[in-house]
Amino acid sequence: MRKSGRTPLFRARRLEKILDVGEIYIKLEGANPNGHLVDRIAEMIVMEAANQKCNEILIMGSQNFTQIVRYYAELAEIKPIIPVFKSEKWKLSKINEDAFLDFRDEYTLSQYDLLKRISDESGAYLAFEGKTTQIFSEIATDEIMNEILIRLKNKVDNIYLQMDHGLNVETARWSAYKLWIEGVLEMPPSLFTAQSAKGKIENEADTEILVDDEVLKEAVKVLRNMEHLKLKQSDSLAFGAFYQSVKQGKVEKGTHVIILKDGKTEVKIDNLNDFDDVSKRQLVAYTREWLAQYADSFDETEDAIENANDKGFILLASRNNEYEGVCIVVNLGFDRFIPKYHLAYIGTRSTSKGRGLGTELIQKAIELTEGNLSLHVDLDNKTAKKLYEKLGFVHTYNRMLYKGQ
């Protein structure tokens, strides 16, 4: 089961109010394990290296690429080897001496040709960003487009994406047209690619947007303040392009999607040790309100919260000191028969749906219980089931309750 992908797509309702151009959705690629879209690409690279039965992987690329590929390589028990060339001193402080090849004193016209020869001779897999990774960038782009378009279907008018390693605009266009031809979409959306205006004189195409640096700074500030997201300015050009276009009056009302390569929510998760900060009655109210159709009775919910407070865990997710999600983990009292802990309830405020709060709460619960955890999921709730499977849960049996004859 892959660890990357299926990232949140949330509706930015606060932005909608101030920009007044219709519905705005933001794809949060920062919800991947290492906080970046590159996770998708890196995991597939390592899967291919494992498929080729390589014991080592040569990693050449940006700091972000190098660290994330290395993460997945170590998970797969494949030894990462990082070449160090003359201008790459940053690598020396990031990796152990036995994990790098020192080329600082060597002159070469082509780093790629040198590493390709070494790869061929040693049998190590070569992960050279932008050279050997193109196919995985295309697959990642197709995945993201499908995650957006299949969920929103006919609603999408415009999609904004950042033009550099990681996303491929031609693949994005192909993915949209394929779904249109198959009848999934009534019309394919317009695609706009974003680049920094630095060093560029003019746009190469009408759909290419050169983002002014001052506008980008303003756009990132607005996004952080209005939607409380964590993101780097360098990976926010897609939103900068959208924001700049809105300011220039070039965006008509419709449904717009912005892909943020490293965007994620600013979430604080508290593990409550007692009811001093939040009353038991308030916790029951939060739980029943945020679970909505899946909520139990007041007494059942109160019983679970008392058990969690005494023997398990009560987790509350907040943003700007406002609670938006709850996770109740009870202790079943077993050590070997069944998992010791059970995730009794997890829910988020309706305005926070799709922001990744649920994922962060579950990951914290897994951490606190050291994975000794079970949960129940409604058989018809396919979205939740996919999320739980992505996080490592497997379907082992169906729960049946005695109701009498």
Single pTM value for the model? 0.77
3-class secondary structure, 366: helix
At 1 the pLDDT is 66
At 201 the pLDDT is 63
Tell me the two tokens of residue 395. 């379907």
At 80 the pLDDT is 94
Angle at 83 between CA 78 and CA 89, to 5 degrees: 125
Residue owning tokens 């926070």? 352
At 202 the pLDDT is 66
Residue 8 has pLDDT above 70, yes or no: yes
145-137-42-93 Cα dihedral, nearest 10 degrees: -120
Candidate from 10-24, 76-90, 110-124 with smallest mean pLDDT: 76-90
Tens of pLDDT, residue by residue over 159-171, are 999 987 788 899 9
In the chain, CATH 3.40.50.1100 sits at 9-36+135-265, 38-132
Q: What percent of the chain has pLDDT over 90?
A: 53
Residue 89 has pLDDT above 80, yes or no: no
User: What CA–CA distance (Å, rounded) separates 405 from 394?
Assistant: 32
Q: Roughly how many angstroms between the first and final C-alpha of the chain, as a whole number?
A: 41
**Higher model confidence: residue 248 or residue 400?**
248
**Higher model confidence: residue 97 or residue 218?**
218
User: What CA–CA distance (Å, rounded) separates 55 from 77?
Assistant: 8
Q: Can you give the length of the chain in residues?
A: 405
At 127 the pLDDT is 97
3-class secondary structure, 234: helix
Q: What are the residue ranges of helices labelled H in 188-316?
A: 213-227, 237-247, 280-291, 298-311
Residue 237 has pLDDT above 90, yes or no: yes
Tell me the two tokens of residue 157. 């008018």
Which residues sit opposite 328 in a β-bridge? 314, 345
User: What CA–CA distance (Å, rounded) separates 27 from 257?
Assistant: 7
Candidate from 49-53, 245-249, 382-386 with smallest mean pLDDT: 382-386
Mean of the per-residue pLDDT values of the chain:
89
At 377 the pLDDT is 86
Tens of pLDDT, residue by residue over 184-215, are 899 999 999 999 988 676 666 778 999 999 99
Residue 94 has pLDDT above 80, yes or no: no
Average pLDDT of the residues in 38-67: 95
At 294 the pLDDT is 73
**Could you tell me which CATH class the domain 9-36+135-265 is placed in?**
alpha beta
| 38-132 to CATH, choices 3.40.50.300, 3.40.50.1100, 3.30.1490.20, 3.90.1310.10 | 3.40.50.1100
At 392 the pLDDT is 82
Band of residue 3 on the pLDDT scale cut at 50, 70, 90: confident
In the chain, CATH 3.40.630.30 sits at 268-390
At 265 the pLDDT is 81
At 203 the pLDDT is 64
126-to-130, 172, 286, 335, 340 alpha-carbon distances in Å: 12, 26, 50, 45, 43
Domain 268-390 has CATH 3.40.630.30: yes
Average pLDDT of the residues in 83-106: 76
Query: Which H or E run contains 113?
Result: helix 111-122
Tens of pLDDT, residue by residue over 331-377, are 999 988 899 999 999 988 887 777 778 888 888 888 788 889 999 88
**Higher model confidence: residue 85 or residue 90?**
85
**31, 387 Cβ separation under 8 angstroms:** no
Tens of pLDDT, residue by residue over 239-293, are 999 999 999 999 999 999 999 999 988 778 888 866 777 888 888 888 888 887 7
176-to-159, 164, 167, 312 alpha-carbon distances in Å: 10, 19, 14, 46
Q: What percent of the chain has pLDDT over 70?
A: 96
